[in-house]
């Protein structure tokens, strides 16, 4: 008997007990749909984390000032303003693994343009900052050398600030006031979106570092060339740990830290932190898929149960077929094909429900989902394997029946 004829017989046998077949497939349907939906939710979460990593910039480290103690009172991290612009220059020059080091300082201020005003974060930066953050311009131009050295009154706006102050008007070459100091807008940054903490990264305004020190944030910081943080981009393929240790030793030398003393600064490896979060998300996806797979196993047990019942009900039919020449392998193939057909039909229905479920989760729960062909192939392959595994024992049992005993069975 060829395979096509066996498949046709299997379909007829399933059609005779349609309700029982549908109930048997229910476990497979739910299992496949759950696996596809859970993998889509997990893949969506991973994709979101990857987008956030990309928005921060790759191979990124942040050096922050450490804490200090005043009159017995221990102040928090960042209180000891001991980083300087020269530290950033030294890091970029002396650490071979470093691609760029960007000193920056930050404060908030009210921006006023015509009849509009908007409170935002003001960053004093150098062009290295945009390289480190991988943040291109959407329009306009970058700071020029004479503007950086001469504390020029120019500003580059984030998308949110540009929209709030100028609406549909092109902000480039427009004038706005920061702390009552007029600045000319020379560029607008490309959109970055939200950070991992939900902060709007486009709600910023960038001015030259010298402008921030000398015109906006106070003269004391200008004289000492202090900066708030130094953001460092490590070369692609370079060892982040080696770069971190190199920067640590260099800053300890520059700050004359004695052996045994704690560092007066903190180095944070954002790429490592975000990679850990991505790994956690991946493990959670695997865990969810594993939990969903339990229903597939339950469905497989249901198939085995029904196939055993079917073998018992059709014992005389098996004996009759054997009496007219059917071999044990033919009987084995017939019942095995029935079990696989049950699993595959349930698997395809589960795929449809899984795709629909992923769409509904995205629409109503607002969670990012991402369907992948691999998850669908995995679910179908797993359901077929379930059919083979749980259908083999009943099929093998049927193939070993003796024709004379089968014909006498009542």
User: Which pLDDT belongs to residue 52?
Assistant: 67
Which of 12 and 87 is assigned the larger pLDDT? 87
Q: Alpha-carbon distance 119 to 333, whole Å?
A: 75
- pLDDT confidence bin for 67, thresholds 50/70/90: low
DSSP for 173-195 reads: T-EEEETTEEEEEEEEEPP--B-
Q: Hey, where are the domains in the chain?
A: 3-53+276-408, 81-263
- Please check the confidence at residue 83 and state whether its pLDDT lies above 90: no
CB 391 within 8 A of CB 321: no
Dump pLDDT digits (tens) for 143-166. Answer: 998 998 888 999 999 999 999 999
CB 264 within 8 A of CB 84: no
Helix (H) or strand (E) holding 306: helix 270-313
- Please check the confidence at residue 98 and state whether its pLDDT lies above 80: yes
Q: Alpha-carbon distance 287 to 279, whole Å?
A: 12
User: Which pLDDT belongs to residue 338?
Assistant: 84
Percent of the chain with pLDDT over 70: 88
Residue 185 β-bridge partners: 155
How many angstroms separate the first and last alpha carbons of the chain? Answer: 27
- Please check the confidence at residue 224 and state whether its pLDDT lies above 70: no
User: Which pLDDT belongs to residue 346?
Assistant: 86
Residues in the chain: 410
pLDDT (average), residues 112-118: 89
Residue 214 Cα distances to 111, 135, 152, 204, angstroms: 18, 25, 10, 19
pLDDT (average), residues 189-193: 88
Which of 181 and 399 is assigned the larger pLDDT? 181
Sheet strands (E) in 131-220: 137-140, 154-157, 175-178, 181-189, 204-208
CB 344 within 8 A of CB 24: no
Q: Alpha-carbon distance 276 to 325, whole Å?
A: 63
Residue 402's CB: how many other CB atoms inside 10 A?
10
- pLDDT confidence bin for 219, thresholds 50/70/90: low
What interhelical angle do 18-56 and 3-16 show, nearest 10?
A: 110
Mean pLDDT of the chain: 82
User: Which pLDDT belongs to residue 73?
Assistant: 57
Dump pLDDT digits (tens) for 176-189. Answer: 999 889 999 999 99
User: Which pLDDT belongs to residue 220?
Assistant: 53
Which pTM was predicted? 0.60
Residue 148 Cα distances to 35, 60, 123, 135, 333, angstroms: 55, 24, 13, 19, 80
Dump pLDDT digits (tens) for 263-296. Answer: 888 888 876 666 666 677 777 777 777 777 777 7
User: Which pLDDT belongs to residue 204?
Assistant: 93
- pLDDT confidence bin for 56, thresholds 50/70/90: low
User: Which pLDDT belongs to residue 72?
Assistant: 58
- pLDDT confidence bin for 90, thresholds 50/70/90: very high
- pLDDT confidence bin for 76, thresholds 50/70/90: low
Q: Alpha-carbon distance 59 to 134, whole Å?
A: 11
Q: Alpha-carbon distance 232 to 91, whole Å?
A: 9
For residue 234, which of 61, 83, 89, 64 has the smallest C-alpha distance? Answer: 61
Tokens of 48: 């979101």
- Placement of tokens 């052996």 in the chain: 259
For residue 205, which of 233, 234, 171 has the smallest C-alpha distance? Answer: 171
- Please check the confidence at residue 80 and state whether its pLDDT lies above 80: no
User: Which pLDDT belongs to residue 363?
Assistant: 82
User: Which pLDDT belongs to residue 185?
Assistant: 94
Contacts (Cβ under 8 Å, ≥6 apart) of 169: none
């Amino acid at each position: 008997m060829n395979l096509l004829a066996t498949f046709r017989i299997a379909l007829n046998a399933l059609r005779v007990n349609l309700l029982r077949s549908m109930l048997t497939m229910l476990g497979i349907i739910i299992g496949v749909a759950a696996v596809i939906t859970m993998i889509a939710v997990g893949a969506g979460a991973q994709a979101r984390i990857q987008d956030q990593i990309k928005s921060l910039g790759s191979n990124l480290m942040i050096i922050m000032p450490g804490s200090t103690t005043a009159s017995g009172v221990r102040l928090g991290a960042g209180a000891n303003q001991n980083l300087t612009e020269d530290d950033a220059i030294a890091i970029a020059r002396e650490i071979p693994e470093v691609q760029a080091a960007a000193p920056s300082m930050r404060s908030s201020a009210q921006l006023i343009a015509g009849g509009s005003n908007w409170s935002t974060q003001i960053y004093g930066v150098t062009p290295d900052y945009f390289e480190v953050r991988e943040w291109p311009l959407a329009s306009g131009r970058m700071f020029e050398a004479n503007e950086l050295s001469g504390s020029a009154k120019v500003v580059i706006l984030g998308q949110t600030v540009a929209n709030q102050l100028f609406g549909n008007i092109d902000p480039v070459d427009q004038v706005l006031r920061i702390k009552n100091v007029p600045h000319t807008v020379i560029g607008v940054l490309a959109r970055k979106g939200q950070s991992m903490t939900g902060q709007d990264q486009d709600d910023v305004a960038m001015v030259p570092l010298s402008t921030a020190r000398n015109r906006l944030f106070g003269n004391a910081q200008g004289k000492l060339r202090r900066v708030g943080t130094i953001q460092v981009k490590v070369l692609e393929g370079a060892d982040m740990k080696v770069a971190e240790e190199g920067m640590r030793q260099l800053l300890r030398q520059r700050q004359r830290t004695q052996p045994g003393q704690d560092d007066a600064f903190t180095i944070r490896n954002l790429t490592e932190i975000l990679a850990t979060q991505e790994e956690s998300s991946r493990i959670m996806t695997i865990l969810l898929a594993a939990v969903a797979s339990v229903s597939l196993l339950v469905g497989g047990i249901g198939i085995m149960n029904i196939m055993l019942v079917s073998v018992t009900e059709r014992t005389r039919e098996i004996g009759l077929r054997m009496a007219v020449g059917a071999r044990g392998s033919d009987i084995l193939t017939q019942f095995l094909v029935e079990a696989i057909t049950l699993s595959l039909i349930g698997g395809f229905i589960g795929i449809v429900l899984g795709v629909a479920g992923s769409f509904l989760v995205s629409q109503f729960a607002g969670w990012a989902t991402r369907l992948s062909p691999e998850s669908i192939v995995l679910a179908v392959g797993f359901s077929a394997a379930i059919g083979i595994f749980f259908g083999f024992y009943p099929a093998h049992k049927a193939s070993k029946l003796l024709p004379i005993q089968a014909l006498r069975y009542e």
